[in-house]
Amino acid sequence: MHLNLEVLEKIYSISWLARYFDEKSEILYKQNKCHFQIGCKGHEIIGAIASQIFEVGLDWFFPYYREHALVLGLGMSPEDFARNLLSKDSDPNSHGRQMPMHWGSRKLNIISQSSPTGSQFLPAVGLALGLKKEKSKSVVYVSSGEGACCQGDFHEALNWAAKDGLPIIFVIHNNRWAISVGFEELWCKSSISEISKAYCLSKSENGFNIESLFQTFHEARNYAANNQEPVLIEIFVPRLCSHSISDDQTKYRSHQEIEQDKEKDPLLALERVLLSKNVNVEGIKSKVKAVVDGAVLAVEQEENPDVKEIFIGSLTFDQAFRADESNAVGETVTMVDALNQCLKESMQADEKIIVFGEDVAHGKGGVFGVTRNLTDMFGIHRCFNSPLAESSIVGVAIGLALIGFKPVVEIQFGDYIWPAMNQIRNELAVISYRSKGDFTAPVVIRVPVGGYIRGAFYHSQNIEATFSHFPGLITVMPSNAGDAYGMLYSALNTRNPVLFLEHKGLYRSPYARSSIKKVVPLGKASVVKEGKNVTAISYGYTLHKCLYCAKKVEEEKGISVEVIDLRTLYPLDETTIFESVKKTSRVLIVHEDNLFMGYGAEISAKIAENCFHFLDAPIKRVGGLDVPGICQAPDLEKAILPSEDKIYNALMEVINF
Amino acid sequence: MEVKVLMPQMGESVTEAVVAKWLVKVGDFVKRDQPILEISTDKVDSEVPSPADGQVKEILVKEGQTVPVKTLIAIIVSGENASESKTDDASKQDSQVHSSESHNNKQFLSPIVKELVKEHGLSEDDIRQIRGTGSGGRVTKTDVLKYVQSKERENAISGGGSKLDEPQLRQSDTSWSSKPFNEAEISPQVAKQLVDNEFTVTPMDIMRRTIAEHMVRSKSTSPHVYSIVEVDCSQIVRFRQKVKDEFSKREGYSLSFTPFFLEAAVKGVLEFPILNCSVDGSNIIYKKHIHLGVAVAIGNTGLIVPVIKRAEEKSFLGLARALNILAEKARSKKLSPEEVAGGTFTVTNPGVFGTLIGTPIINQPQVAILCLGAITKRPAVVDDDKIAIRDLCYLTLSYDHRVIDGSVSGQFLSFVKKYIETWDINRNIFV
């Protein structure tokens, strides 16, 4: 594309549209019609130019919150923009669910964005990876301020993008202020491109140099698309406003500096060019201003989001929940073999399934062997090793899932999932809801968890209570091979993200051996042993201990114990629990994780709230000790985790009340 | 200070007792050791003395209610607290009201129990009648369901009417739950007749139930055989006539015929020790001492068997005294658990009620019981083939044929007969 006068005028027009909307949002904020405002003044030129280079409908965008001009330039209508400011249901960005300036548009391939700085990089890399796998001509545009480049995710993203040669352009708006912190306070080098050049082709530009910036964008997009390599463009622009409506930059910036910045406004440079060509800039500005005012006026009376629709975009109760449970058939197998078999059969049937994680590929096939032979069978493009970085694993999986892949990623141990917490909590579990279902990321994260294996502090953790707390995420934990197969099958066939917990102690345990069930629906607990006097609720490894104690109590005391295997921890199958409790009136809840705020607390509360009138004894819980970690020495481990003795005694306590 | 009154454990094997009667009420002042209630167990009935001086603050278990031993049944306020409330009638009344409320509150009902109570329209009285099997005697869901079941059964019997004393019937039902007789099933015929008002149903009290259980067990344990002899009691009748006034004067109670037979029986048992044994599997356990049980009727409602320990060491007078004391205690429900335990041979005397010949059931784990018939004047063939009027009675020995044969029983009875018939009219029993 050539930067002719028409394009210049368009860039100018888009820039002022953005700036007037920026100013309008401040007014609306003060009128209590808009509930947040974050400015773009000084940054408009970047998005305005980029929007003329990148291809709408082909390329993908992860724009950060100062990209008013980009989204407008890509084609977001002034009315939609106004809807965003006014948190209307018809707002394509988030349907009134996120703060304004958190972009997203299915139509424009703008991926729904969140607030945590830097968390967009890895999903962007994942999406680029997907484009490359599909041999697409598209590229990914991901932007942020220079402050967000401090995040580890930024560096992980550059590394992965560079190592795999992905068509992605990192666009860094460097206004030299991360809210109130100056560039020199944060960085070891004088620019971001100096740092990123170790990873990929990097270039710094000045927003003032319109032509050069245009050219750079043009070349970068072509380079990324044609060479299948990442590029980083850093653009120096002034921040002509405070960080946001909640900030006052005069508290940390000198008056002199603020005034000097005004001189560096790229729109002044552009205006000078246009004036030199006798363009009626004031006419453009007044026209644009009228568009902004008119758009706001036009949509102000539109419907606000309906509270009745508050659950739309949260979990979808699709076929994976409604399917009938298959009968167990064939020889008994170990849980590890059941999972491996399910992955093989599913990958055979669905080529969108891809597996990655640490050590999952080649002959190793995962540290527990769950992904064994997948690379041999399906090739390295379908089962490959990821960098040793959990945030990368989940973030990239999200990006892949956004464009139709079904990533099944492995976090090597539950203990190491925490670096991925931001990607899981703020992106994976939320993206569908924050876009009212416009975007979904049906990732399956497989995680070996649990103790009883002398795994000590960092090979024993139980993580289900933490992750079951995130309502956008399904959490499951099978206790036997048959369920493991059937539930992984369902996890692969739902449009919701699934955290698939696998207990290391059950992988090859004879207790967990069983025949394969081809389909086990999500969200359905299993009554593994019927009884009438007391209900024992558990899942995973401790389920087997519960069963042992239940049988012992039955043999010794003639008391009939019903044992429920929850299997899916979120969403919880309350019906099965309540029915059982209403029958027996006595409940014991057992889990391996420590007790305080543990998973059992929720079950206990649910029962208390819903079955109070049916209870004949206090609800009893058995869990691990409330100590910060599970110690290695066998005696210590034994004392920390629930033993059969503890469970048996608790069961008798409930029975004897 | 509050002093707790706990249900005493009347014997090691006793696990529960009935509050038979409260002798005091809330607010009463009691002296230490003053009897405050009567209790009843399957072994003994007894009075419970107050553990302290003070005022009765709370009575937590109603009359007729069965509770596990060590259950808190009352609270007595001793010391200053008691005297304070004594001086202030108003506060005394308040505390009474309060205490009765807190009594109600003390009976913890779980949510499901409350729900069931509502669903089945049970009254507070109903709830009190249910014997709790949960922790601390708490009424559990199962307890209520059992109770309701028995109530339904009973309603079916009485045609849905309320003629029966329901709670009592149910109480007996629930408290039987752990006993072999727990199935208080009433046959369809009986049920029909009940509907027709042909009879009423009265629950057994704890003593009755215990007797019933023991009797059935004994019959199914021991093959009973009975031997009977006729004894000429003329000698002891004459002897008693001769000494009874002096006896009454010296002892303070009148001389009955029983001690004569007790002495004769003791001598006989010493002669035939197999009568003083018990059976343990294929072993015979011979007892060193003769602990002589004597059945004592308690009105028309039951009987109890206090035991004269080491009867073989006692003189005639000793036996008579022991008998008198124990019989008295039995009638006034003051027997201690020890006083009814450990019998090795029993004598029963239905003769006092006019019975000529009895065939009693052995008091397990003993192996024989001697039954005294009434002494009546009857014609008898005496020396030289003359017919004379004599004081005669029949003695029956019921014995366990597992260990005792007819020869021994015959010899034992003959021994006793001879002992009575040859009583020395000049014997000085007061030595």
Lowest mean pLDDT among A197-201, A428-432, B138-142: B138-142
pLDDT digits (tens, 9 = 90+) for A118-174: 999 999 999 999 999 999 999 999 999 999 999 999 999 999 999 999 999 999 999
Residue-level pLDDT at B96: 39
Give domain status of residue B130, yes or no.
no
Residue-level pLDDT at B211: 85
* Average pLDDT score over chain B: 82
Q: What is the mean pLDDT of residues B16-40?
A: 88
Are residues B409 and B261 part of one domain?
Answer: yes
Pick from A616, A652, A654 the residue to mutate for testing the B interface (most B CBs within 10 Å).
A616
Interchain proximity A585–B138, CB inside 8 Å:
no
pLDDT digits (tens, 9 = 90+) for A304-336: 999 999 999 999 999 999 999 999 999 999 999
Residue showing tokens 């280079």: A53
Give the closest of A613, A615, A657 to B135, CB-based. Answer: A657
Give the closest of A615, A656, A657 to B111, CB-based. Answer: A615
Tell me which of B32 and A544 has the higher pLDDT: A544
Interchain proximity B110–A616, CB inside 8 Å:
yes
pLDDT digits (tens, 9 = 90+) for B239-255: 999 999 999 999 999 99
Residue A232's closest CA among A245, A219, A244? A219
Please state, for a pLDDT cut of 70, what percent of chain A lies above it. Answer: 100
Please state, for a pLDDT cut of 70, what percent of chain B lies above it. Answer: 83
Phi/psi of residue B387, each to 5°?
-105, 130
CA distance B139 to chain A (A): 9
Looking at chain A, which residue has its C-alpha nearest residue B136?
Answer: A657
Lowest mean pLDDT among A98-107, A342-351, A544-553, B63-72: B63-72
Give domain status of residue B306, yes or no.
yes
Residue-level pLDDT at B383: 81
Looking at chain B, which residue has its C-alpha nearest residue A653?
Answer: B135
Interchain proximity A612–B111, CB inside 8 Å:
yes
Looking at chain A, which residue has its C-alpha nearest residue B113?
Answer: A616
- The DSSP annotation for B174-206 comes to HHTTTSTT------HHHHHHHHTTS-------H
User: Residue A562: is it exposed, middle or buried by C-beta count within 10 angstroms (0-12/13-18/19+)?
Assistant: buried
Give yes or no for a cis peptide into A571 (omega within 30° of 0).
Answer: yes
Looking at chain A, which residue has its C-alpha nearest residue B115?
Answer: A613
Interchain proximity A613–B111, CB inside 8 Å:
yes
Of B84, B112, B129, which marks where a domain is finished?
A: B84
Within 8 A of A617 by CB-CB distance, chain B residues are 110, 134
Cα separation, A452 vs B61, whole angstroms: 50
| Residue B290 DSSP label | -
Interchain proximity A616–B140, CB inside 8 Å:
yes
Q: Are A199 and A125 in contact (CB under 8 A)?
A: no
Query: Helix A210-227 to helix A266-276 angle, to the nearest 10 degrees?
Result: 110
Quick one: CA torsion of A583, A588, A591, A592, rounded to 10 degrees?
-150
* Average pLDDT score over chain A: 96
Whether B401 is catalytic: yes
Strand partners, B29: B55
Tell me which of B380 and A434 has the higher pLDDT: A434
Q: List the end-to-end C-alpha distance of chain A, in Å, as a whole number.
A: 81
Cα separation, A45 vs A237, whole angstroms: 9
Pick from A585, A609, A612, A655 the residue to mutate for testing the B interface (most B CBs within 10 Å).
A585
Evaluate if residue B298 carries a pLDDT over 50.
yes
Other CB atoms closer than 10 Å to residue B281's CB: what's the count? 6
Give domain status of residue B208, yes or no.
no
Catalytic residue from among A173, A218, A243, A459 = A459
Residue-level pLDDT at B95: 39
CA distance B115 to chain A (A): 6
pLDDT digits (tens, 9 = 90+) for A234-271: 999 999 999 998 899 999 999 999 999 999 999 999 99
pLDDT digits (tens, 9 = 90+) for B397-406: 999 999 999 9
Give domain status of residue B293, yes or no.
yes
Evaluate if residue A104 carries a pLDDT over 60.
yes
Tokens of B148: 């309701």
| Residue A304 DSSP label | P
Q: List the end-to-end C-alpha distance of chain B, in Å, as a whole number.
A: 53
Angle at CA of residue A169, ends A163 and A173, nearest 5°:
125
Query: pLDDT band at B10, cuts 50/70/90?
Result: confident
Interchain proximity A585–B135, CB inside 8 Å:
no
Residue A452's closest CA among A391, A516, A506? A506
* Domain residue limits at B319: 222-421
Looking at chain B, which residue has its C-alpha nearest residue A533?
Answer: B142
Residue showing tokens 């109903």: B126
Within 8 A of B115 by CB-CB distance, chain A residues are 613-614
Give the closest of B135, B138, B141 to A585, CB-based. Answer: B141
Of B66, B84, B102, which marks where a domain is finished?
A: B84
Say whether B26 sits in a helix, a strand or coil. Answer: coil
Give domain status of residue B384, yes or no.
yes
Residue-level pLDDT at A195: 96
pLDDT digits (tens, 9 = 90+) for B51-82: 888 889 889 888 888 888 888 899 988 876 55
Strands (E), B314-405: 345-348, 368-372, 376-382, 386-400
Cα separation, B380 vs B357, whole angstroms: 17
CA distance A653 to chain B (A): 9
Residues 6+ away with beta carbon under 8 Å from A27: none
Residues 6+ away with beta carbon under 8 Å from B420: B231, B232, B233, B235, B236, B260, B261, B264
Residue-level pLDDT at B53: 86
Residue A516's closest CA among A368, A324, A327? A327
Cα separation, A31 vs A25, whole angstroms: 10
Interchain proximity B111–A657, CB inside 8 Å:
no
Give domain status of residue B330, yes or no.
yes
CA distance B413 to chain A (A): 50
Q: Are B126 and B167 in contact (CB under 8 A)?
A: yes
Of A61-65, B148-152, B245-249, highest mean pLDDT: A61-65
How far does Cα A470 stand from its chain's mean position?
Answer: 11
Interface of B with A (CB under 8 A): 110-115, 134-135, 138, 140-141
CA distance A148 to chain B (A): 55
Give domain status of residue B270, yes or no.
yes
Contacts A–B by Cβ distance under 8 A: 29
Cα separation, A186 vs A177, whole angstroms: 10
Q: What is the mean pLDDT of residues B365-373?
A: 95
Looking at chain A, which residue has its C-alpha nearest residue B111?
Answer: A613
Give domain status of residue B328, yes or no.
yes
Strand partners, B307: B293
How far is it between the farthest Cα atoms of chain B? 87
Catalytic residue from among B42, B291, B405, B424 = B405
CA distance B110 to chain A (A): 5
Looking at chain A, which residue has its C-alpha nearest residue B134?
Answer: A657
Evaluate if residue B315 carries a pLDDT over 50.
yes
Pick from B112, B117, B119, B139 the residue to mutate for testing the A interface (most A CBs within 10 Å).
B112
Interchain proximity A613–B141, CB inside 8 Å:
no
Within 8 A of B110 by CB-CB distance, chain A residues are 585, 615-617
Query: Helix A281-299 to helix A5-30 angle, to the nearest 10 degrees?
Result: 40
Within 8 A of B111 by CB-CB distance, chain A residues are 612-616
Within 8 A of B116 by CB-CB distance, chain A residues are none
Evaluate if residue B100 carries a pLDDT over 50.
no
Evaluate if residue B199 carries a pLDDT over 90.
no
Domain count along chain B: 2
Residue-level pLDDT at B51: 86
Residue-level pLDDT at A28: 93
Strand partners, B371: B348, B396
Evaluate if residue A427 carries a pLDDT over 50.
yes
Interchain proximity B111–A616, CB inside 8 Å:
yes
Q: Are A523 and A573 in contact (CB under 8 A)?
A: yes
Lowest mean pLDDT among A50-64, A347-361, A491-505, B208-222: B208-222
CATH number, position B35: 2.40.50.100
Residue-level pLDDT at B176: 34
Within 8 A of A585 by CB-CB distance, chain B residues are 110, 112, 141
Evaluate if residue B184 carries a pLDDT over 60.
no
Tokens of B396: 């029956």
Phi/psi of residue B224, each to 5°?
-80, 135
Question: Which strand (E) or helix (H) includes residue B321?
Answer: helix B316-331
Evaluate if residue A493 carries a pLDDT over 70.
yes
Evaluate if residue B166 carries a pLDDT over 50.
no
pLDDT digits (tens, 9 = 90+) for A366-396: 999 999 999 999 999 999 999 999 999 999 9
The counts of H helices and E strands in chain B are 12, 19
Evaluate if residue A643 carries a pLDDT over 90.
yes
Residue-level pLDDT at A1: 67
Other CB atoms closer than 10 Å to residue A578's CB: what's the count? 15
Within 8 A of A614 by CB-CB distance, chain B residues are 111-112, 115
Is the Cα torsion angle B409, B413, B415, B416 positive or negative in sign? Answer: positive
Question: Which strand (E) or helix (H) includes residue B49?
Answer: strand B45-49
CATH number, position B363: 3.30.559.10
Of B58, B84, B110, which marks where a domain is finished?
A: B84
CA distance B109 to chain A (A): 8
Residue-level pLDDT at B198: 67
Evaluate if residue B122 carries a pLDDT over 70.
yes
CA distance B100 to chain A (A): 25
Cα separation, B414 vs B425, whole angstroms: 20
Evaluate if residue B89 carries a pLDDT over 50.
no
How far is it between the farthest Cα atoms of chain A? 99
Tokens of A113: 């964005």
Looking at chain A, which residue has its C-alpha nearest residue B139?
Answer: A616
Interface of A with B (CB under 8 A): 585, 612-617, 656-657
Length of chain A equals 657
User: Residue A1: is it exposed, middle or buried by C-beta count within 10 angstroms (0-12/13-18/19+)?
Assistant: exposed
